[in-house]
Amino acid sequence: MSLDTPFRSCTNTPVLKERGQREVFCGLTGIIWLHRKMQDAFFLVVGSRTCAHLLQAAAGVMIFAEPRFGTAILEEKDLAGLADANAELDREVARLLSRRPDIRQLFLVGSCPSEVIKLDLSRAAERLDARHAPNVRVLNFSGSGIETTFTEGEDACLAAMVPALPATDAAELLVVGALPDVVEDQMLALLAAIGAGPVRTLPARRSTDLPPVGANTRFILVQPFLGATHAALQVRGAKAISAPFPFGEEGSTLWFHAVAEALGLPRDRVDAVLAAPRARAQKAVAAVAQTLRGKSIFFFPDSQLEIPLARFLARECGMIPVEVGTPYLHRELMAPELALLPEGPVLSEGQDVELQLDRARAARPDLTVCGLGLANPLEAEGLATKWAIELVFTPVHFYEQAADLAGLFARPLRRHALLTPEAAE
């Protein structure tokens, strides 16, 4: 690209809005990473045996393991209204808490079956919270797949926590979104080094460390799918810091710069602290980008990570986004990302899966990012695919994970080249 060519972003790109059949996991999937993050919490899904099998399969939990989630099975008599589901739920919760005294937060998680029979879990949570306080806090959120995608399970969970957070007048930074502990520790170390503090996180690892919130709280997201949590924090008076999301070297740097600017930290100190991790990330990404440069990519809507990932792949790895589909396009959260994403790809919101499959087949991209249900059929048609869900389960944020993030897209291309030598020519 010539230096004289003005940069054109996707800020004003028209959005193709589709409302049709979707291919997504439900919000219950978010429990898989949330139960690992919140060490004294338990997630009780009020649902069917299908819900239980989904969680068991997704978590890879062996039968003798005792994870921090479970399913209160709704039987046929519950669905038919022949049993008092609330009485049964109260009994199961009492049994659970007597057996697991380590539980300090209990989440009642709604599912498709519980919502179909109109079981009011919000009132059940209030009743059980009053009964088991102060030892256990009981909250509820919906993980139903009727209207949500799988990452919205985390959003619903965190949004449910916000009204119950303690109040404060202290000026603190709140980082919002679940990260693997090792990545969170890296982030907190860099924030401390640039002079940001005190820093709190939501979700906290333990209920005793729940962050207080007030009018002097500044918060910044690390996950792009937290629209409801973002709104709930603003209702509490907290002020949002707008920034690109910390994927890749550029996104991470702009994220830290946004924090520093909001807190009035000196730019030269921030740049000095970030210089070494930036250099490592740039070098590591450049090595992986050799496989990605010049390759086209098509995103099916799945996790709401699509726009930030497309920005990273286009700007740091030299890929060419053909279509960037996302389940929901939150304009306020995505504004910094759209300002960086080069003009060219189709932006689509929602999904009509048959129409989108037609566009993907016509484009014949080098790599297609999609859900598990579409990957195998597309592979059978000769398209290289990447499972979108792996991008949520794998540590990919900030500098030390930047090359790992690029590698998630490079590996299927290398595999496809080995299996279909003509594709590498």
Query: Is 9 part of any domain?
Result: no
Identify the pLDDT of residue 251: 98
Beta-carbon contacts of 157 under 8 Å, excluding residues fewer than 6 positions away, are 30, 34, 107, 141, 203
Which residues form the domain of 75?
Answer: 27-148
pLDDT exceeds cutoff 70 at 311: yes
Burial of 185 (0-12, 13-18, 19+ CB in 10 A): exposed
Report for 24-33, 112-121, 143-152, 250-259: range of highest mean pLDDT: 250-259
Query: Hey, CA dihedral for 308, 302, 235, 334, is it positive or negative?
Result: positive
Domain boundary among 267, 296, 330: 267
**What's the Cα-to-Cα distance from 73 to each of 27, 48, 216, rounded to whole Å?**
17, 5, 43
Report for 55-64, 204-213, 410-419: range of highest mean pLDDT: 204-213
Pairing of strands 69-73, 105-110: unpaired
Same-domain status, 200 and 79: no
Distance CA 18, CA 353 (A): 9
The residue among 197 and 179 whose pLDDT is bigger is: 179
Residue 97, φ and ψ in degrees, nearest 5: -70, -30
In three-state secondary structure terms, 332 is: helix
Omega cis (within 30) before 134 = yes
CB atoms within 10 A of CB 14: 8
Query: Is 274 part of any domain?
Result: no
The residue among 8 and 425 whose pLDDT is bigger is: 8
Query: Is 357 part of any domain?
Result: yes
In three-state secondary structure terms, 281 is: helix
Query: Quick one: average pLDDT of 333-337?
Result: 97
Same-domain status, 219 and 111: no
Same-domain status, 108 and 136: yes
Identify the pLDDT of residue 109: 93
pTM: 0.92
pLDDT exceeds cutoff 60 at 63: no
Query: Is 225 part of any domain?
Result: yes
Same-domain status, 260 and 355: no
In three-state secondary structure terms, 315 is: helix
* DSSP string across 260-275: HHHHT--HHHHHHHHH
Identify the pLDDT of residue 3: 41
Same-domain status, 262 and 365: no
Same-domain status, 304 and 393: yes
Residue of 304, 56, 60 lying closest to 177 (CA atoms):
304
Which amino acid belongs to residue 374?
A: L
The mean pLDDT of the chain is: 90
Query: Quick one: average pLDDT of 296-316?
Result: 96
Could you read off the pLDDT of 66-124 as tens digits, one per residue? 678 888 887 655 555 545 778 889 999 999 999 999 999 999 999 888 887 888 999 99
The torsion of the CA quartet 147, 151, 155, 160, rounded to 10 degrees, works out to: 70
Query: Is 414 part of any domain?
Result: yes
Instruction: Lowest mean pLDDT of 113-127, 247-261, 267-281, 358-372, name the range.
Output: 113-127
- 375, two tokens: 């990957």
Query: Is 278 part of any domain?
Result: no
CB atoms within 10 A of CB 70: 19
Same-domain status, 39 and 105: yes
pLDDT exceeds cutoff 90 at 422: no
Alpha helix positions (H), 293-383: 306-317, 331-338, 353-363, 372-380
CB 414 within 8 A of CB 397: no
pLDDT exceeds cutoff 60 at 313: yes
- 368, two tokens: 């297609």
Looking at the chain, the whole-number percentage of residues with pLDDT higher than 70 is 93
Identify the pLDDT of residue 77: 56
Could you read off the pLDDT of 23-59 as tens digits, one per residue? 777 888 888 899 989 999 999 999 888 888 888 777 7
Query: Quick one: average pLDDT of 131-157?
Result: 89
Q: Which residues pair with 15 in a beta bridge?
A: 347
Query: Quick one: average pLDDT of 218-245?
Result: 97
In which band, very low, low, confident or very high, does the pLDDT at 2 lie, cut at 50, 70 and 90? very low
- What domain count does the chain have? 3
- 373, two tokens: 């249900």
Same-domain status, 339 and 250: no
Same-domain status, 183 and 242: yes
* Gyration radius of the chain's alpha carbons: 22
pLDDT exceeds cutoff 50 at 298: yes
Identify the pLDDT of residue 51: 82
Same-domain status, 316 and 417: yes
CB 109 within 8 A of CB 46: yes
Beta-carbon contacts of 290 under 8 Å, excluding residues fewer than 6 positions away, are none
Same-domain status, 313 and 388: yes
CATH number of the domain where residue 75 is located: 3.40.50.1980
Same-domain status, 395 and 289: yes
Distance CA 425, CA 416 (A): 12
Distance CA 174, CA 168 (A): 12
Identify the pLDDT of residue 78: 53
Query: Is 42 part of any domain?
Result: yes
Query: Is 167 part of any domain?
Result: no
In which band, very low, low, confident or very high, does the pLDDT at 1 lie, cut at 50, 70 and 90? very low
Helix 227-235 / helix 152-161 crossing angle, nearest 10 deg: 10
